[in-house]
Amino acid sequence: MKNFDLIKLPFSKENPILVQVLGVCSCLAVTAQLKPAVVMSLSVIVVVMLANLIVSLLRNTIPPRIRIIVQLVVVSTLVVLVDQVLKAYVYDVSKQLSVFVGLIITNCIVMGRLEAFAMVQKPLPSLLDGLGNGIGYSVILITLGFVRELFGSGTLWGYPVMEKLGLYEIGYENNGLMIMPPMALILVGLIIWWHRSRNKDLCEK
Amino acid sequence: MSKTFSNRYIFIYSAVLVVVAALILTVVSVSLKPLQTKNQEAEQKQMILKTIGVEATRNNADMLFDQYISVGAYPSVRPDEATEEGVHGSTPLQFYRYDGGIIIPMRGTGLWGPIWGYLALDYNSNVVGAVFDHKGETPGLGGEIASDKFAKRFIGKKMDTQAIHLAKNADHSNPYEVDAISGGTMTSNGVTAMLEKAFENYSNLNIQNTPSTPNTPTEEAREEATE
């Protein structure tokens, strides 16, 4: 497997959210606005990459019997680090993400990649695999954040797009459902639908 | 993976791993502390300003706070409680003055962790503004206490003879009742308990009807505090 494939694959047939349906919890929760979605994406990318790298470096020293515990220690240390950095430098965002940063620890994507990939692969491929999966996760998160904020609140990154376009004056109204978590689920469903219609081999028989 | 590891190796391995992780976290936590504390203080000032309708940003919070608010500190009635309480490290009976009345801090516990807030009262104990926040209540449910929508429900309520409480399908004409959060019952109960406690502290201050001349009461408060 070429290293380049590792980055590309998650976009297509191995997207963690669309195909493996992992990490959906945070995907529904932090996408009401674009900004937390982007910050969550970056945090997850950093955590998956570093966790993959570290676990891959340690893989031959980790006793199989306690491997899950070792993975958890690595992941939670990284997550606490990310949380501390966010609190110091982007405090408002860290407040919005509040419990979800902690939930990265239990994000199935992270544990899934560690167990399935980093435990048996060399460091560089593992790092790239983390990047690929992180990006695959981010693409969906940011898409949702974009759509939900634009149609739910009429803003993008806090900028009042709809107001500037003058749409409210001609009777346009924000869709309140967009802000609610169920709408994220519906949107993810639509994206999965679209994704499978383009990749027929993913459809269950 | 077929390699076998002795128990001895496993124990030493896990011990070393945990110590290394702890060391890294300690270093980072200590070195970022000043920045985080600064953020928290600015946020607290923003919250207090918000109760009297002044929107401050993280950067100008300090300046606006000094402009509008003075800190009043009454001697703690129950000094034993003064040290163990407080999310931001202030004592329960510390309060703030603005030119129309006082702002009382509130602290309590929600479902998952601490909740806190500020209540701005005029000199007749009418609520003119409120603001709440939480450490880790469920977003969308209990976390809604931090929303403006929830805070606005308090405006016009009273804290004179009894505390405001949250209730399901609250009677809007009742000055002591505010609509609770649907889906956030545990957090709402926490808010009610917090309001009761704040009311108790506020009654102990015994300053409900101090005249509305802005600066004199503060002077008195300071003198009293130093005695």
Q: Is pLDDT of B126 > 70?
A: yes
Higher pLDDT, residue A178 or A77: A77
Residue B89, in any domain of the structure:
yes
Q: Which residues contact A87 (CB under 8 A, 6 or more apart)?
A: A94, B32, B36, B39
Instruction: Write a three-state SS string for B62-121.
Output: HHHHHHHCEEEECCCCCHHHHCCCCCCCCCCCEEEEECCEEEEEEEEECCCCEEEEEEEE
What is the reported pLDDT for B32?
92
Residues B178, B157 contacting (CB under 8 angstroms): yes
Confidence at B16, pLDDT banded by 50, 70, 90: very high
pLDDT, mean of residues A111-136: 89
Q: Could you say which of B17, B112, B138 has the minimum Cβ distance to residue A70?
A: B17
Residue A120 with chain B: CB contacts under 8 Å: 1
Q: Could you say which of A62, A91, A181 has the minimum Cβ distance to residue B140?
A: A181
The structural domains of chain A, with segments of one domain joined by +, span 3-202
Residue B44, in any domain of the structure:
no
Counted domains in chain B: 1
Yes or no, beta carbons of B136 and A85 under 8 Å apart: no
Residue B212, in any domain of the structure:
yes
Residue B36, in any domain of the structure:
no
Q: Tell me what ipTM this predicted complex has.
A: 0.72
Residue B174, in any domain of the structure:
yes
A182 touching B (Cβ < 8 Å): no
Residue B37 with chain A: CB contacts under 8 Å: none
Higher pLDDT, residue B224 or B23: B23
Q: Is pLDDT of B74 > 80?
A: no
Yes or no, beta carbons of B36 and A64 under 8 Å apart: no
CA-based angle B57:B105:B83, to the nearest 5? Answer: 115
Q: Could you say which of B10, B35, B135 has the minimum Cβ distance to residue A88?
A: B35
Higher pLDDT, residue A99 or B118: B118
Residues A35, A158 contacting (CB under 8 angstroms): yes
What is the reported pLDDT for B67?
83
pLDDT, mean of residues A178-194: 87
Question: Which range of residues forms the domain containing residue B128?
Answer: 69-226
Amino acid, single-letter form, for residue A135: I
Amino acid, single-letter form, for residue B9: Y
Q: Is pLDDT of B211 > 50?
A: no
pLDDT digits (tens, 9 = 90+) for A54-76: 999 999 999 988 989 999 999 99
pTM reported for the whole predicted model? 0.69
Yes or no, beta carbons of B39 and A99 under 8 Å apart: no
Confidence at B169, pLDDT banded by 50, 70, 90: confident
What is the reported pLDDT for A17?
78
Yes or no, beta carbons of B25 and A87 under 8 Å apart: no
